[in-house]
Amino acid sequence: MTPQNAEGRVPLSVGLRLYWKHLVPLTVYPAVLVVTLKSIPEEWALLVFFLTSPVFFGCGYYAGIPWWKKKVPYSYIVVLGGCWLFLSPILIVAAVLATNALFHLK
């Protein structure tokens, strides 16, 4: 059984251990989108971007479910934002460099 405070929310450390899988799609999706947009013809890029934007919002909603259901504290949202703002760009750069190295793209 996990410790809970008066509101029924678990501490941040426990919440991250329980719900880390909710943060992965929001962190990884921007890198997948950039690599996809880089590998398709330029004429299709805008269409693909608009068609996949609901997926991004879905990833954001999925990442926020533990907070919306009042299972984790607000600091979980701060960690969620940090994953998106700081880890996603690192993954994007790594994915682009790997794509360039594997497929010899410009």
pLDDT of residue 103: 77
What does the alpha-carbon distance between residue 8 and residue 101 come to, in Å, rounded to a whole number? 49
What does the alpha-carbon distance between residue 82 and residue 79 come to, in Å, rounded to a whole number? 5
The domains of the chain are located at 15-103
pLDDT by position in tens, the chain (length 106)? 566 665 788 999 999 999 999 999 999 999 988 888 888 888 898 898 899 989 999 999 999 999 999 999 999 999 999 988 999 999 999 988 888 888 775 5
pLDDT of residue 20: 93
